[in-house]
Amino acid sequence: MDRPQDMALLRLRNPIKEVDFFSQNGRQDVTEAGAGVASPKGHEEEEENALARGGASVNTGLYLLTVNSQASQAVVEEEKSKHKFSALRIELNRVRDENRRLRSMLDQLTESYTALHSQLLPAVQQKEHEIYRWQDGKTGVARQGEPSAHQIMEHGPARMRMIHGNSEDGDGEHSSSLNIISSDRGIIPSAETQHSQVDGSSENPNLTQETSSTATPSDLSNRRARVSVRARSDAPMISDGCQWRKYGQKMAKGNPCPRAYYRCTMATGCPVRKQVQRYADDKTVLITTYEGKHNHPLPPAAKAMANTTSAAAAMLLSGSTTSKDSLVASANGFLHPHILYDSTMATLSASTSFPTITLDLTKSANPIQQLLQRAHPTVSPLQMPFPIYGLPQKLPSMVGPQTLQHGPRQQAVVESVTAAITTDPNFTAALTAAITSIMGAPTSSTGAGGSNVPSAGAHMVPGSPQLPKPCTTFSLN
DNA sequence: CGCTTTTGACCGGCGC
DNA sequence: GCGCCGGTCAAAAGCG
């Protein structure tokens, strides 16, 4: 251990005073000197430990010199990893804090939404009450006991069956949607259901006349409502969180791509079916048409799409009975068709057998931006709080102070968007579904026996380039 | 072996 | 009444 060359090196590098190797102080001096030469920064701790252990302090110093290159390299690497570890820990803490902050924001958003929704309900009911009174005055028909349009929209077709007073099998979930809900006229029975009305309102000739005059075109509402989702995807089927079983495939006329028929298999007897077909003009566009209402609880991943389809179907059934203008003329304020579903986008399909509402996820523009453009046409797209194309990266309430600092105009924009989102459950549901479809629903439901994703195995992956462009443009086909 | 997919047959609505 | 077309059924095949 007492290697003369090492000691010489030590002297050359660090001229030290004379040392008495046999005195206590001398040992310490050598140790300190050795540490100063051989140890990189931060290595003093080890030396102190060595000193604390006592004994062969001299040996320790020499040892460090002996293994100079290897030890220092190892120490440097150790230090590097230490730094890396501490950096990771800091990053983890930062992410944890951000997660906590986002969660609290989400909670706040949910709370404010609930509060606004609860405030909205009485207003809607009051408005409907006024409509009924106005209609009572006009027709003289007692409408007591009839549910509100909102109630019907909340309960969907099942509620409509109750209004009918008749029973239908499970498959007729949407075929039961025969009581036409007109948001500006209250409930208008269809020609078919007038004869089975239990409240006797159909006996009123005025109402019958009004109904016959409004149930155009071609009594679409007598048929089943469908919700069609258009999404740009290379996958054979969009992932919506449900389990489906294919029961048929047909070549549709005018489309080289076959149409596939699926049935929900999450519960026995679930009446929900869907058709999947590629758009003839643009084969990258996948058209998924849903029909019916699930008779079983849905996994969270499937809820968004199911809520959207039922909400859209309810919207269709409530607004499609008269004309596309009735969408704009919605009087109960429940929908905001004048904002999102204006007459340029809302057209009733004359070619299909069923009234169908289409949620178009293929357009490049984003509904929030459309909304903003309409609400604030003077605001340049560049001034929008969201990117004009692509998903909004943050919701208005999550944008934070950096948005608000853009001034009162921006704040007004944000407020109008917030109001629109929170007061329109259909929009909220559609937005949720759009985001879900874009993010890609979890594939947990595709477990044993699940056929959510066809055998081809291709499905939407978060961040996949095949994802549909974010847009929830509503159009009625 | 059980479940899913495939595919031709069948049925009902609608237009001519 | 007939034919077309969309939708569904059900037996056979495929698959894990």
Query: What would the 3-class secondary structure string for chain A be?
Result: CCCHHHHHHHHHHCCCCCCCCCCHHHHHHHHHHHHHHHCCCCCHHHHHHHHHHCCCHHHHHHHHHHCHHHHHHHHHHHHHHHHHHHHHHHHHHHHHHHHHHHHHHHHHHHHHHHHHHHHHHHHHHHHHHHHHHHHHHHHCCCCCCCCCHHHHHHHHHHHHHHHHCCCCCHHHCCCCCCEEEECCCEEEECCCHHHHCCCCHHHCHHHHHHHHHHCCCCCHHHCCCEEEEEEECCCCCCCCCCCEEEEEEEECCCCCCEEEEEEECCCCCCCCEEEEEECCCCCCEEEEEEECCCCCCCCHHHHHHHHHHHHHHHHHHHHCCCCHHHHHCCCCCCCCHHHHCCCCCECCCCCCCCCEEEEECCCCECHHHHHHHHHCCCCCHHHCCCCCECCCCCCHHHHCHHHHCCCHHHHHHHHHHHHHHHHCHHHHHHHHHHHHHHHCCCHHHHCCCCCCCCCCCCCCCCCCCCCCCCCCEEEEC
Tokens standing for A176? 């039961």
Asked whether residue A298 is domain-assigned, the answer is yes
Can you give the pLDDT at residue A247? 92
Structural domain of A286: 222-317+342-364
Q: How many Å apart are CA A83 and CA A95, to the nearest integer?
A: 18
A109 in a structural domain = yes
The pLDDT assigned to A218 comes to 33
Residue at A37 is within a domain: no
Q: Which position has the token pair 């059934």?
A: A317
CA distance A82 to A139: 82
Q: Is residue A407 part of a domain?
A: no
> Does the CB of A226 fall within 7 Å of any strand C atom?
no
Which bases on strand C have an atom closer than 7 Å to a protein beta carbon? 4-10
Gap from A289 CA to B4 C1', Å: 21
Asked whether residue A213 is domain-assigned, the answer is no
| Residue with smallest Cα–C1' gap to C10 | A247
Q: How far is Cα A374 from Cα A334, in angstroms, rounded to an integer?
A: 19
The domain boundary residue, chosen from A132, A152, A173: A132
Average pLDDT along chain A, 477 residues, taken 10 residues at a time = 42 40 41 39 42 39 44 78 86 84 75 67 58 44 35 34 34 33 32 33 33 34 67 78 89 87 86 88 86 82 75 64 33 31 36 66 52 42 32 34 40 46 50 50 36 36 33 39
Neighbour tally for A172: CB within 10 Å: 16
Listed residues A132, A147, A164: the one ending a domain: A132
Q: Which nucleotide is nearest to A248 (CA to C1')?
A: C8
**pLDDT at residue number A24:** 43
Domain annotation covers residue A440: no
Q: For position A259, what pLDDT does the model report?
A: 92
Question: Residues A119, A253: one domain?
Answer: no
Q: Which residue is nearest to nucleotide C5 (CA to C1')?
A: A253
Q: Are A154 and A358 in contact (CB under 8 A)?
A: no
Residue A249's pLDDT is 92
Query: Which residues numbered 338-397 in chain A sit less than 7 A from strand C, measured from CB?
Result: 353-354
pLDDT value of residue A279: 85
Angle CA A238–A241–A245, to nearest 5: 75
Q: In a 10 Å sphere around its CB, with 0-12 CB exposed, 13-18 middle and 19+ buried, how is residue A225 labelled?
A: buried
The answer to whether some atom of strand C lies closer than 7 Å to the beta carbon of A258 is no
- For residue A385, the model assigns a pLDDT of 33
Per-residue pLDDT at A191: 32
Give me the CATH number covering residue A226. 2.20.25.80
- How many angstroms is C1' of B16 away from CA of A215? 25
Query: Does residue A245 approach strand C to less than 7 Å at its CB?
Result: no
Residue A126 shares a structural domain with residue A250 = no
**Same domain? A109 vs A239:** no
CB A437 within 8 A of CB A238: yes
Quick one: A352 and A249 in the same domain?
Answer: yes
What's the pLDDT score for residue A429? 55
**Which positions ≥6 away from A4 have C-beta within 8 Å?**
none
Within residues 260-279 of protein chain A, the ones with CB less than 7 A from nucleic strand B are 260, 265
Do A226 and A358 reside in the same domain of the chain? yes
CA of residue A41 to C1' of nucleotide C4, angstroms: 89
For chain A, the domain total comes to 2
Same domain (yes/no): A235, A349? yes
Same domain, A248 and A355: yes
Covered bases, chain B (protein CB within 7 Å): 3-9, 13-14
| Res A126: pLDDT | 63
Say if pTM beats, i.e. exceeds, 0.85.
Answer: no
Which tokens in the block code for residue A258? 């076959």
CA A364 to chain centre: 17
Residue A275 lies in a domain: yes
Residue A359, pLDDT score: 78
Cβ of A409 near strand C (distance < 7 A): no
Q: Which nucleotide is nearest to A243 (CA to C1')?
A: B4
Task: Please report the pLDDT score of residue A113 as a whole number.
Answer: 65
Query: Is A292 domain-assigned?
Result: yes
Cross-strand partners of A358: A228, A475
A231 and A349 housed in the same domain: yes
User: What does DSSP say about strands A356-360 and A226-232: parallel, antiparallel, or unpaired?
Assistant: parallel
Which of the listed residues A96, A113, A132 is the one where a domain comes to its end? Answer: A132
